[in-house]
Amino acid sequence: MSTAISLRGVTKTFGAGRDGLTALTEVNLDVGRGEFVCLIGASGCGKSTILNLVAGLDRPSTGTVEAGGRPALMFQESALFPWLTVASNIELPMRLAGVSKTERKARVEQLISAVHLDGFARKRPHQLSGGMRQRGALARAFAQDTDVLLMDEPFGALDAMTRDSLHEELETLVHDRNLTVLFVTHNMREAARLGDRIVVLSPRPGRVRAVVDVDIPRPRRIDSPEVAELAAGVTDQLREEVLAHARR
């Protein structure tokens, strides 16, 4: 498997001197093409910082970050432009990339259908539920024609049924396009449900403490005994990390 994302000796410090805060230290991580990797860890351990570095929104203090293609970043909030319709929000990345009007129209229709927003193309974000807005944000991310999708707790604020439905849609879209996904979550079952691997980060400053292979066959259910068992094991690992950090 070729490498889509590579972090080598990455340290990130915000500020300088006594006011400096080190978010990450000596992080080494490879993500293969077409792989779905979940990042977990205590709040403030640098998960979102890793996504920002891979997206090119920030630079490491030391070390190197490489990502193939043009990564697309999706947040917990949909971040749809409120003055644009669903269709126009999805179309925007293609318009900025110079895609022809005819092709934009066809791809917008395809993406709206793929995320099950048929009939809502002309609606504006305030007219949609939270789950629908995240579907729109997901379609907009795919509209960027990216090879790498970076997701920062995109389903964290949704109810369980909506989240489960979006898991299925995301899994199908990622598989169909052979995308590489780096996914931040605090939900251990979500990580076990979606991921090929789960990367456990230490409390700040974040570093890779464990990498767990998810060998559960797909398709998976978030409430399956296998997913629950793996999630419990990862939770125990993370709890040990947090307690060990507190004792230092």
Q: How many helices (H) and strands (E) does the chain have?
A: 7, 9
Answer yes or no: is pLDDT of 154 > 90: no
48 with 140, same domain: the answer is no
SS3 at position 61: coil
Where a domain ends, among 127, 145, 163?
Answer: 145
152 with 240, same domain: the answer is yes
155 with 243, same domain: the answer is yes
Q: Residue 114, by phi and psi: left (phi above 0), alpha (psi -120 to 50) or beta?
A: alpha
Write down the pTM of the prediction. 0.90
10 with 33, same domain: the answer is yes
Q: Which domain holds residue 157?
A: 3-71+147-247
Where a domain ends, among 121, 145, 169?
Answer: 145
pLDDT of 185-221, one tens digit each? 999 999 999 999 999 999 989 999 999 999 999 989 9
Which helix (H) or strand (E) covers residue 6, if one does?
A: strand 3-14
Instruction: Answer for the pair 177, 120: CB distance below 8 angstroms, yes or no.
Output: no
134 with 166, same domain: the answer is no
Neighbours of 92 (CB within 10 A): 17
Confidence of residue 157 (pLDDT cuts 50, 70, 90): confident
C-alpha 216/C-alpha 103 separation (Å) is 39
Query: Residue 243 burial by CB count (10 A; 0-12/13-18/19+): exposed, middle or buried?
Result: exposed
Answer yes or no: is pLDDT of 246 > 80: no
118 with 223, same domain: the answer is no
31 with 151, same domain: the answer is yes
Instruction: Answer for the pair 226, 216: CB distance below 8 angstroms, yes or no.
Output: yes
Q: Lay out the sheet containing 21-32: strands in order across.
A: 21-32, 3-14, 62-67
C-alpha 124/C-alpha 206 separation (Å) is 39
C-alpha 118/C-alpha 136 separation (Å) is 11
171 with 140, same domain: the answer is no
pLDDT of 52-110, one tens digit each? 999 999 999 999 999 977 788 888 788 899 999 999 999 998 998 899 999 999 999 99
151 with 227, same domain: the answer is yes
Q: What is the pLDDT of residue 18?
A: 79
Number of domains in the chain: 2
Residue the block writes with tokens 């997701």: 151
Confidence of residue 158 (pLDDT cuts 50, 70, 90): confident
61's CB contacts (< 8 A; 6+ apart) are: 11, 12, 13
